[in-house]
Amino acid sequence: MRINRVILQNYGLYSERTEIDLAPRHRGTHPRPIILVGGMNGAGKTTLLNGVRLALYGKSAVGDRLSQKAYEAHLRGLVHRSKTALIQVDEALVGVEFDLVTRGARETYYVQRSWKLRNGQGAEEALSIQKRPPESDLKKGAQTPDHGTRLYDTWPKLENIDTQYLQDFLNDVVPQRLSQLFFFDGEKIKRIADDISGDTASRMPSARCWGSIPWTP
């Protein structure tokens, strides 16, 4: 699995729509598959990391024992709140585009988890998964969202999986138990290093490290 892009809209610190390109770069012929996300405290590093987990795992990313009511309250708290807007937004989304290699063939998916606040309390959540069509099937303009067509508008949703089983599909291709192999919290690594080597590691910068490893279910 390789994460290519993360989209956050009205989520936490991220107002409106923010798209973050995480596709690995190359230096000459050498791939550079590790992405470092750095910033000051409160810049949104943890929010970004948690957004990816939420997109992929939903309620279980917050806590396996969390009640549905508590989970919906958690989602409400994640909707961006502006200090200057006269009318506050009432919906948010997190999306992840990733490549998956199955039987030697690479396929690209986009998973999006959105939620809309209900009047009074709670939130209504929606999960969708889209698959990039073959190049020959892409409609003109699908890759040029500047003209009102967003990147994923022409990607068809998975048709062979019932809506209620979409989460099972994600759990199969990106097992949550392996998520710690994909995402490394630089601050936690620093604390571990401090315990081992004391002041030697205190000069390590605070960052989020994004790694990707091949995974075939």
103-127 pLDDT per residue, tens:
888 999 999 999 999 887 889 999 9
Nearest to 79 by CA among 5, 14, 7: 14
**Residue range 141-188, pLDDT digits in tens:** 444 444 445 778 889 888 778 777 899 989 888 788 777 676 666 666
Cβ burial 105-126 (10 Å sphere, 16+ → b, else e):
eeebbbbbbbbebeeeebbeee
* Ramachandran angles phi, psi of 81, nearest 5°: -120, 120
The phi-psi region of residue 103 (left if phi > 0; otherwise alpha if psi is between -120 and 50; otherwise beta) is left
Mean residue pLDDT of the chain comes to 80
Tokens, residue 149: 């067509």
* Mean pLDDT calculated for residue range 189-205: 58
Instruction: Check residue 217 and give its pLDDT.
Output: 42
The reported pTM is: 0.78
197: pLDDT strictly greater than 90: no
* Mean pLDDT calculated for residue range 63-78: 91
198: pLDDT strictly greater than 70: no
* Mean pLDDT calculated for residue range 188-213: 55
**Contact status, residue 173 vs residue 143, Cβ threshold 8 Å:** no
